[in-house]
Amino acid sequence: MCGIVGYIGWRDAAPILLNGLKRLEYRGYDSAGIALLDETLSVMKRKGSVSTLEESSSAERQRLAGATMGIGHTRWATHGEPNDVNAHPHVNAAGDIAIIHNGIIENYSSLKQELIADGYVFLSETDSEVLVHLIDKIWKLDPLLALERVVRRTLRHIEGAYGLCVLTAREPDKIVVARKGSPLVIGIGVGEFFIASDAAPLVEHTNRVVYLSDGELAVITRDGYSVKTIENVEQEKTITQLDFSLEKIEKGGFEHFMLKEIFEQPAVMHDVMRGRVRLEEGKISLGGIIDYLDRLKQAKRIVICACGTSWHAALLGEYLIEDFARIPVEVDYASEFRYRNPIVGVGDVVILISQSGETADTLAALRIAKERGALVLGICNVVGSTIARETDCGMYTHAGPEIGVASTKAFTAQVIMLYMLALALSKGRTLSRNEITLSLKELAATPDKATRILELESQIKAIAGRFKDAKNFLYLGRGYNFPVALEGALKLKEISYIHAEGYPAAEMKHGPIALIDEDMPVIIIATRDNTYAKILSNIEEVRSRKGRVIAIANEGDEDIKRLAEEVIYIPQASAPITPLLAVIPLQLLAYHIATLRGCNVDRPRNLAKSVTVE
Ligand code: G6P
């Protein structure tokens, strides 16, 4: 949520900042801005995309071509509508201090009142602007203080979350950054340093990075960086090597990141399993939890907390773990868990699932679970992310950077992770060696089946063309296919803005059936499992009310053609594996409906990839 970049070195800063912001646009994209420092501080900011800023600032940037340091921001509005004034950076009245900020200042209102009483004039409606005026005020009280100390003093007054960068003409050789609840990473180059809210803008410059932890502040100059806590205690930081390439964060010939990521799924499925599934021996080796496996197997119960698409993966986790390992599982929205005084403690295992590893509610759930003595396990995609670092143990999904806001490949990767975890928890307890080997063999055969589904893209696009003008969609599934119905509906609403609901098929008669008429497309996942006969009855119920049925069925099921207006065939698989396949046509359908409606699928309105505010 919101993106930060910074540069200090020997090269022209503006192109580096703008390029970095483009790589971060998936985090927020309603306005963007940069501040450059040569002899003086210059700020350029605009409502709209980074390209809009790039075009509108070209003359000024030419004039500032010699500036070799600066900071930049792409915004996802929380306080104040997206417009030029509310865009970051924010500057003080003298125009010699600029800040950019991710996160939310919770006590901004009282701070603002105090600052106004002191004569400060606020230009924007943002919470972030208090930071620059407070820095200015604290510095005025003690003009001999170094910037670092001023920032540290300022932060003592701040309640809430921040990823903060400060640039000032008064100390023109450094950038001061600080983090609490909103990620920041420093990229190390040769005679140059980069700052970003995640590693995506850094990979083209360096693969050596330092992740700041909560409560840390760094001073970055052309010669190096130093990290201390906000309380001024020096910190030893480890340099991490990034292991993803530029190619992985570019579109690679696809029209959108989302489509590229949908098509990457067979390869991602292999990546998730690589080194973890040992087919010949029928073994699963999950390095990140190996030392905790016995404790995990002895769990009284498992609670899984997540948000959005990750929450749908969590629901599948519940089905998988209960089915295979017979350990009771509860699934909670992280935002509900954190505020409902949950019963959780020693003996419980809490699993946090998060693509970004930064979602504020999921992070808060983690901290509560840990505080109360539960063993916390993370399933994250972004390496080095906060959730990944704060959990007791965990596993990376290895899906590679996911840029499209609507999650696709990260979801399938999470589900595979949960499938492997469920099997690992069953070993020596509820499943025989033979059963585990068979389940692993089926998992290993899934990427090829996924590839076959991707070959149906043109059929799915044609269906999208026939249904793109519908106002509502209903998605139905039973058992393992119920979370898939929820995920299919979420994909459609996120990117096409069509209202869509997912339901357990049997629940239809308790409400949604009232909505069904000839204008209501109903997507029914009708694969051959133990509820197949029941789902056929649900299709009949929809048909007899003139609903338009699009069925996801197994190859070879000719009967279903009689009942459904459209059928998308997927390969046969057991019920626990089917979600990995059934979700793919739903992703493609949502993608094509959205593009046919002219929507920006990679950057849907009002959404953000990484939600670091509550
Ligand atoms: C946002 C994204 C969703 C994502 C959710 C949870 O809403 O737009 O795609 O599923 O956050 O994110 P996480 O990174 O925790 O999986």
Say how many Å lie between the CA of residue 24 and the centre of ligand 1: 15
* CB of residue 413 inside a 6 A radius of ligand 1: no
* CB of residue 309 inside a 6 A radius of ligand 1: yes
Structure tokens belonging to residue 559: 């009967």
* CB of residue 587 inside a 6 A radius of ligand 1: no
Does the pLDDT at position 78 exceed 90? no
Cβ–Cβ < 8 Å for 484, 582? yes
Say how many Å lie between the CA of residue 308 and the centre of ligand 1: 5
pLDDT tens sequence across 226-264:
999 999 999 999 999 987 777 777 777 799 999 999 999
Alpha helices in 403-456 (DSSP H): 409-426, 433-444, 446-454
Q: 164 - beta bridge partners?
A: 101, 178
Residue nearest to atom 2 of ligand 1 (CA): 609
Mutate which of 29, 356, 411 for ligand 1? The one with the most ligand atoms within 8 Å of its CB, which is 356
Say how many Å lie between the CA of residue 355 and the centre of ligand 1: 7
Question: Rounded to an integer, what distance in angstroms lies between the CA atom of residue 410 and that of residue 309?
Answer: 9
pLDDT tens sequence across 465-485:
999 999 999 999 999 999 999
Q: Tell me the pLDDT of the chain averaged across its residues.
A: 94
Residue nearest to atom 1 of ligand 1 (CA): 609
3-state secondary structure 69-86: EEEEEEECCCCCCCCCCC
H-helix or E-strand containing 487?
helix 481-496
Mutate which of 309, 335, 412, 486 for ligand 1? The one with the most ligand atoms within 8 Å of its CB, which is 309
- What pLDDT, on the 0 to 100 scale, is given for residue 26? 67
Q: Which of 2, 165, 305, 380 is catalytic?
A: 2
Atom of ligand 1 nearest to the CA of 410: 16
- What pLDDT, on the 0 to 100 scale, is given for residue 103? 86
Does the pLDDT at position 419 exceed 90? yes
CA 483 to chain centroid, in Å, comes to 19
* CB of residue 155 inside a 6 A radius of ligand 1: no
H-helix or E-strand containing 396?
strand 393-396
When pLDDT is averaged across residues 385-393 and rounded to a whole number, the result is 93
The three-class DSSP label of residue 386 is helix
Number of helices and strands in the chain (H, E): 21, 26
- What pLDDT, on the 0 to 100 scale, is given for residue 10? 96
Say how many Å lie between the CA of residue 377 and the centre of ligand 1: 18
pLDDT tens sequence across 359-379:
999 999 999 999 999 999 999
Mutate which of 76, 307, 490 for ligand 1? The one with the most ligand atoms within 8 Å of its CB, which is 307
* CB of residue 567 inside a 6 A radius of ligand 1: no
Residue nearest to atom 8 of ligand 1 (CA): 609
* CB of residue 197 inside a 6 A radius of ligand 1: no
* CB of residue 609 inside a 6 A radius of ligand 1: yes
- What pLDDT, on the 0 to 100 scale, is given for residue 1? 61
- What pLDDT, on the 0 to 100 scale, is given for residue 24? 83
Catalytic, 441? Answer no
Of 378, 374, 339, the C-alpha closest to 359 is 378
Residue nearest to atom 4 of ligand 1 (CA): 308
Strands (E) located in 244-316: 277-278, 283-284, 301-306
Of 140, 142, 135, 141, the C-alpha closest to 158 is 135
pLDDT tens sequence across 561-570:
999 999 999 9
Burial 102-133 (b: 16+ CB within 10 A, else e): bbbbeebeebbeebeeeebeeebebbbbbbbb
Burial 316-342 (b: 16+ CB within 10 A, else e): bbbbbbebbbebebbbbbbbebbeeeb
Residue nearest to atom 3 of ligand 1 (CA): 308
Percentage of the chain beyond pLDDT 70 is 99
Atom of ligand 1 nearest to the CA of 406: 9
Does the pLDDT at position 58 exceed 80? yes
pLDDT tens sequence across 88-135:
999 999 999 999 999 889 899 999 999 999 999 999 999 999 999 999
Q: Is the pTM higher than 0.85? A: no
Catalytic, 2? Answer yes
Cβ–Cβ < 8 Å for 538, 505? yes
Does the pLDDT at position 153 exceed 70? yes
* CB of residue 527 inside a 6 A radius of ligand 1: no
Q: How many residues are present in the chain?
A: 614
- What pLDDT, on the 0 to 100 scale, is given for residue 28? 62
Mutate which of 182, 407, 412, 602 for ligand 1? The one with the most ligand atoms within 8 Å of its CB, which is 407
- What pLDDT, on the 0 to 100 scale, is given for residue 198? 86
